[in-house]
A and B are shown apart, each in its own frame.
Chain A
Amino acid sequence: MGEAEEAAFRSEMVALLPRLRRFGCSLTGTLELADELVQAACERALQRFHQWVPGSRLDSWLYTIMHSIWCNEIRSRRVRQGAGRVDPDQLVDAGVESQLGARLTLTKIDRIVARLPEEQRAVLLLVCAEGHSYREAAEALDVPIGTVMSRLARARLAVTEELHRRPGVREAAQFSGGSA
């Protein structure tokens, strides 16, 4: 890769950073890990620059790389270190929460999405926020399109059921179903 070519490629990746970090958060759960994942993926993209088809979506390609690094390298490392056992509620700093009082009362949908399995959340983000088609999401996550369809359906139905549940009416908790 020539110098000018590399510079142009790097600046395209910088423009995508907010979206890459957001996708990273949906996978990893913290901004710190997301940043580590984004950086690793961008470095790998530079090494494999020749594999990228100019004109195709750079964001989708980077998502694929991020997903693969997360599944095959970072996540497995964290499992070995036992870093997985975290209560999501404790990740929100209690001191800050009490200081900010009512303003920190997180909205309902935020909590609902937080409780989704990471794979469902990643599909939800790609399709609902990034405007990926089911096929594009399947390619980015390297899973069959049927898996995208069922993960997305579970996530969307869970969100909708929780959001519109009438007070006093208990419906089957589809959340606890785990990832597809």
Chain B
Amino acid sequence: MDQAKLREDLVAYVDGELPAAEARAIESWLAGDPAAQELRRHLQEDVLALRGLFGAALREPVPAALTAAIGAGRVAPTSAGGGTVVELPRKARPRPVARWLAAAAIAGLVVGGVGGFLGERQQGRQEIAQLQQQLVQTQQQDQQQMAQLQQTQQQGQQQMAQLQLQLAQMQQQGQQEIAQLHGQLDQTQQQLAAAQQPQPWIMQVAQYHKIYAREQRHLVEVPAAETPHIEQWLGKRLDDLAFKVPDLSAFGLTFKGARMLVVNGAPVAQLVYLPADGRAVALCIIHSKKDDKPLTASQQDDLNLVDWRVKGYGFVVIGWENPDALRAIAEASQKGFAL
């Protein structure tokens, strides 16, 4: 298979989306080529950085007028003016936002525009007529906009100042977060470098847990408020496993949410719980072809683990709780799964 195809397939493999037949070719490539192993490691790390980048966009404040228009069916923000957000004239520069937000649209649009350019005279005349019409419209719009501009100039200036301040804060926050993520990635890189060959999945999951458990804002990908979605989404990714998020409140643990990890090309569901005071406990599930296995305690560095397998699914509970407490949590967790 050629190198370009292998590289494309490796991305799907890292996402756990490559069919088994193609996955074998990737695995043998990975086994024999250190450069391929390095590429896989980079692809896995960069997903975290991308999530950080896209996550920042969710903190863009939603204009009140838009919320009102959608929530209550009030007049559109473009024609209202009753909203708290001042409408800047159309010709104002776009608000400065993260560059990826501001960039898009361009490549496709320019190509589309050039493609429409044909030398035929008839069409040329029509285009000129259209352009003249547009020019008149634009001039009218400009006059309206000038009037609007004078009215809203003062408000606009105030808002710009606010936005600049907000932007500065957001930028600073975003950079701190990305720097943090990069620091974590360096650590992950070292850990992964120490173990280039595929490891038992629970060891990799434990490494992930150490990283994510330090997160405050990004502890989970999908919050506990969306529990039905979590059960549906992760169940589907685990080959249609029907499950309910186990209730571990008897152990003082509150369910905070979930994320999906990918280990050796396979999806892993990670359910995250927090004690009132202390560090996160995670319950992770993977689809496994291996035989059933009873609850088994183990340790990795300062982390305690209890893992087991039932009817084609592997489970592990990970945390800094003592081994007896963790075993009791594991026993209670089994009840959430109708296997």
* Cβ of B20 to closest chain A Cβ, rounded Å: 15
Given A104-B171, A109-B50: A114 touches B11 (CB 8 Å cut-off): no
Q: How large is the interface on B (under 10, 10 to 19, 20 to 34, 35 or more residues)?
A: 35 or more
With both chains docked as a complex, state the minimum distance between the C-beta of B104 and any C-beta of chain A, in angstroms. Answer: 3
CB nearest to B40 among chain A residues: A160
Q: Which of B51, B58, B72, B134 contacts A128 (CB 8 A)?
A: B51
B77/A92 in contact, CB under 8 A: no
A selection of 28 A-B contacts at a CB cut-off of 8 Å is: A10-B71, A10-B72, A14-B70, A18-B60, A22-B57, A25-B101, A26-B104, A27-B104, A29-B103, A29-B104, A38-B70, A81-B134, A85-B113, A91-B93, A91-B94, A91-B99, A97-B96, A103-B171, A107-B178, A109-B46, A109-B178, A111-B99, A118-B104, A128-B54, A131-B260, A134-B17, A152-B11, A152-B15
Whether the Cβ atoms of A125 and B54 lie closer than 8 Å is yes
Q: Which residues of A contact B (CB under 8 A)?
A: 10-11, 13-14, 17-19, 21-22, 25-33, 35-36, 38-39, 42, 46, 57, 75-76, 78-79, 81-88, 91-93, 96-97, 99-100, 103-104, 106-107, 109-111, 113-119, 121, 124-125, 127-129, 131, 133-134, 149-150, 152-154, 156-157, 159-160, 163-164, 178-179
User: Which applies to chain A's interface (DSSP): helix, strand, loop or mixed?
Assistant: helix
Q: Which of B50, B76, B236 contacts A129 (CB 8 A)?
A: B50
CB-CB < 8 A to B112: which residues of A?
75-76, 79, 84
Supposing A36-B78, A131-B222 touch, asked if A28 and B11 sit within 8 A by C-beta, the answer is no
Q: Are A117 and B99 in contact (CB under 8 A)?
A: no
Q: Are A160 and B43 in contact (CB under 8 A)?
A: yes
Cβ–Cβ contact A119 & B43, under 8 A: no
Interface centre among B102, B103, B174, by most chain A C-beta atoms within 10 angstroms, is: B103
Cβ–Cβ contact B102 & A114, under 8 A: yes
Contact A133 B8, beta carbon cutoff 8 Å: no
Interface string of B87-107 (1 = CB under 8 A from A): 000000111111111111111
A131 adjacent to B233 (CB under 8 Å): yes
Interchain CA distance A98-B179 in the complex, whole Å: 22
A16 to B185, CA, bound (A): 30
**C-alpha spacing A114/B105, complex, angstroms:** 10
Complex Cα distance, B74 from A10, in Å, reads: 12
Smallest CB separation, B261 vs chain A (Å): 11
* Contact status A79-B109, CB under 8 Å: yes
- Tell me whether B224 is interfacial, beta carbon within 8 Å: no
Asked whether B99 lies within 8 Å of A32 as measured between CB atoms, the reply is: no
Q: Are A103 and B168 in contact (CB under 8 A)?
A: yes
Which residues of chain B from 105 to 124 have any CB-CB distance to chain A below 8 Å in the complex? 105-113, 116
Interface segment among B61-69, B270-278, B317-325: the answer is B61-69
Is B106 in contact with A86, judged by CB distance below 8 angstroms? yes
Known: A84-B110, A149-B12. A19 touches B96 (CB 8 A): no
Find out whether the CB atom of B67 lies under 8 angstroms from the CB atom of A17: yes
User: Contacts of A38 on B, CB cut-off 8 Å?
Assistant: 66, 70
| Contact (Cβ within 8 A) B94 A32 | yes
Q: Is the CB of B66 within 8 A of A35?
A: yes
The 8 A CB mask of B146-172 against A (1 = contact, 0 = none) is 000000000000000000100110011
Give the nearest-CB partner of A125 in chain B: B54
Select A88's contact among B46, B71, B106, B174, beta carbons within 8 Å: B106
CB distance from B85 to the nearest CB of A (A): 10
List residues 24-65 of chain B with CB under 8 A from any CB of chain A: 39, 42-43, 46-47, 49-51, 53-55, 57-60, 62-63
Q: Given A10, A115, A163, which contacts B49 in the complex, CB threshold below 8 Å?
A: A163
B42 touches A110 (CB 8 A): no
Interface pair B8/A153, CB less than 8 Å apart: yes
Whether the pair A114, B103 counts as a contact (CB closer than 8 A) is: yes
* Complex: A76 Cα to B98 Cα, angstroms: 25
Residues of A within 8 A of B116 (CB): 79
Q: Determine the chain B residues whose CB is within 8 A of the CB of A178 once the complex forms.
A: 107, 111
B73 within 8 A of partner (CB): yes
Interface contact A96-B164, CB-CB below 8 Å: yes
Which chain B residues in 252-266 approach chain A with CB under 8 Å? 260
Closest B residue to A93 by beta carbon equals B96
Interface string of B178-195 (1 = CB under 8 A from A): 100000000000000000
**Distance to closest chain B CB from A123 (angstroms):** 11
The answer for the CA separation of A92 and B99 in the assembled complex, in Å, is: 7
